[in-house]
């Protein structure tokens, strides 16, 4: 959220594409980022297609944006993104008629329609059941690989982070407690960090780790 300018940092600066994120650079930098939200942030009375097209509002001129007008090329691009996330058959279905997993797929299509270099996913599977969460994380990974997009994903589910990421930055109490390639972060290390906490908060198999917090 700080990278995208939704929340300001308490201190220091954020650099993205070799530029400091500020009020003057934010409009241009936002065109290079896509955002996927925990609560989907879709317009319920719009179709899936029109929700995806909202991702292009910032790249259209003010007149086109004001009257919600899009070119044929933009509509075809949006349809292609819906096809990529497996929802082409829901293009003209209202968002409020979609399941949670389908809504998040529309959110991903909206994020990639602008062809960003960075995709930010803020707790994208927190409100989804485990099977749907797994499919959404798979989709985020595949989309990133296919389009060459860097994906930064904020997660509390450690097992999903271990499964789908290339790099993990662990935070505890607002501080970085580790930063390493995923292949270097083994299960024993993760369990040690969360020792004494309810494992069900972080691992699908539930249970409680032994010993004091560390």
Tokens of 96: 């409020």
Taking CA atoms, 87 is separated from 78, 84, 109, 135, in Å, by 11, 8, 9, 14
HSE value, Cβ hemisphere, 13 Å, CA-based, for 64: 13
- Other CB atoms closer than 10 Å to residue 47's CB: what's the count? 17
In-domain check, residue 3: no
In-domain check, residue 111: yes
- Tens digits of residue pLDDT in 16-40: 888 888 888 888 888 899 999 999 9
In-domain check, residue 32: yes
147: part of which helix (H) or strand (E)? helix 130-147
- Identify the band that residue 62 occupies on the pLDDT scale cut at 50, 70 and 90: low
In-domain check, residue 204: no
- Identify the band that residue 195 occupies on the pLDDT scale cut at 50, 70 and 90: low
Domain count, the chain: 1
In-domain check, residue 68: yes
9: part of which helix (H) or strand (E)? none
pLDDT value of position 211: 37
pTM: 0.84
- Identify the band that residue 52 occupies on the pLDDT scale cut at 50, 70 and 90: very high
In-domain check, residue 193: no
- Tens digits of residue pLDDT in 73-105: 999 999 999 999 999 999 999 999 999 999 999
Q: For residue 138, what are the domain limits? A: 15-165
CATH at residue 122: 3.40.50.300
């Amino acid at each position: 959220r700080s990278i995208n300018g939704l929340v300001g940092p308490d201190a220091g600066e954020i650099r993205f594409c070799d530029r400091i994120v500020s009020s003057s650079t934010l409009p241009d930098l936002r065109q290079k980022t896509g955002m996927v939200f925990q609560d989907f942030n879709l317009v319920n009375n719009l179709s899936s297609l029109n929700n995806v097209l909202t991702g292009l509002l910032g790249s259209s001129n003010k007149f086109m944006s004001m009257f919600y007008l899009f070119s044929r090329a933009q509509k075809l691009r949006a349809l292609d993104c819906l096809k990529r996330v497996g929802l082409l058959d829901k293009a003209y279905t209202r968002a409020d008629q979609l399941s949670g997993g389908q809504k998040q797929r529309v959110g991903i299509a909206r994020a990639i329609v602008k062809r960003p270099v960075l995709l930010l996913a803020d707790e994208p599977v927190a409100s989804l059941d485990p099977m749907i969460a797994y499919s959404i994380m798979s989709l985020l990974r595949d989309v990133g690989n296919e389009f060459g997009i860097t994906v930064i994903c904020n997660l509390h589910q450690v097992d999903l982070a271990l499964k789908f990421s290339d790099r993990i930055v662990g935070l505890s109490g607002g501080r970085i407690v580790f930063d390493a390639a995923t292949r270097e972060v083994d299960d024993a290390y993760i369990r040690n960090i969360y020792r004494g906490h309810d494992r069900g908060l972080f691992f699908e198999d539930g249970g409680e780790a032994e010993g004091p917090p560390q």
